[in-house]
């Protein structure tokens, strides 16, 4: 297959390596210094564009790719707040977007487990739920997009929570900000930025009697990159708004 890359940081380079190992062509690479290549014949020839950029750039990249008839796989987070309805309209017009806050197979399994556990815990109101995520010091957003997706899934299934709130944040320099006094109907997400941690997400259900804790701990970013390539392979033959649930059949 022919893939284009939008964004050529660490993740983009790893995606390129894995895609080539799997026999795919990288026909175009677009980064901040060559946006004019959206108009190139090479970009238009791509079966799928794989986009890993920033919350500010992602939606504009979708528009540029769709205008040129190219499907998109995106791992960018933060754009949904302002553009979720816009993207839904674009999909209704016949465009295709595979979006995930995390492409790891392990995270997909972890998410499915968390959704099931949240429904189960409706029967046990003495357990309060919270979340903690840890990432490398270069990650600017807190909480992470994966943590937000996990939290939204829990809130949708656990009757005693109706929203999530940002809790305590420990920055790379060790300074601490944020809050621990979120209201009872909020799911608190704490964030830690430390070293070169690829990503750790822990969901805790705590009661006066005991504690239930589930964790996903990524060993490297390679699992995310492989998942993005698998998503691109899937997207090439599917249409609409796609997710990891479609890819992994959860």
pLDDT digits (tens, 9 = 90+) for 52-67: 999 999 999 999 999 9
Q: Can you tell me the distance from the alpha carbon of 233 to that of 77, in angstroms, rounded to the nearest whole number?
A: 21
Say what the pLDDT of residue 141 is: 84
Q: What is the mean pLDDT of residues 25-31?
A: 98
Please give the mean pLDDT across all residues of the chain: 96
User: What tokens were used for 82?
Assistant: 């302002």
Question: Quick check: pTM over 0.75?
Answer: yes
CB 53 within 8 A of CB 61: yes
Residue 70's pLDDT band, with cuts at 50, 70 and 90, is very high
Q: Is the peptide bond before 143 cis (omega within 30 degrees of 0)?
A: yes
Residue 136's pLDDT band, with cuts at 50, 70 and 90, is very high
Q: Which positions are catalytic?
A: 135, 139
Say what the pLDDT of residue 152 is: 96
Q: Can you tell me the distance from the alpha carbon of 80 to that of 55, in angstroms, rounded to the nearest whole number?
A: 9
Q: What is the mean pLDDT of residues 21-42?
A: 97
Say what the pLDDT of residue 18 is: 97
Least Cα distance to 224 among 75, 110, 59 occurs for 75
């Amino acid at each position: 297959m022919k893939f284009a890359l939008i964004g050529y940081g660490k993740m983009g380079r790893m995606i390129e390596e894995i895609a080539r190992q799997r026999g795919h062509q990288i026909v175009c690479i677009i980064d901040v210094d060559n946006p004019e290549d959206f108009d190139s014949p090479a970009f238009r020839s791509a079966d799928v564009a794989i986009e890993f950029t920033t919350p500010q750039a992602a939606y504009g990249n979708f528009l540029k790719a769709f205008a040129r008839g190219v499907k998109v796989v995106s791992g960018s987070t933060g754009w949904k707040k302002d553009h979720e309805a816009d993207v839904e309209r674009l999909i209704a017009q016949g465009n295709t977007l595979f979006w995930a806050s995390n492409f790891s197979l392990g995270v997909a399994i972890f998410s499915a487990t968390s959704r099931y556990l949240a429904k189960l815990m409706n029967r046990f109101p003495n357990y309060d739920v919270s979340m903690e995520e840890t990432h490398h010091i270069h990650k600017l957003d807190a909480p992470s997009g994966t943590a937000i997706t996990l939290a939204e899934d829990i809130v949708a299934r656990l009757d005693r929570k109706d929203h999530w709130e940002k809790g305590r944040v420990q920055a790379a320099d060790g300074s601490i900000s944020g809050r621990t006094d979120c209201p009872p109907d909020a799911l608190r997400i704490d964030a830690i930025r430390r070293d070169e941690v690829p990503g750790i997400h822990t969901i805790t259900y705590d009661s006066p009697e005991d504690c239930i804790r589930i964790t996903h701990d990524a060993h490297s970013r390679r699992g995310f990159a492989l998942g993005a390539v698998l998503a691109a392979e899937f997207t090439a033959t599917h249409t609409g708004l796609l997710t990891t649930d479609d890819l992994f059949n959860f």
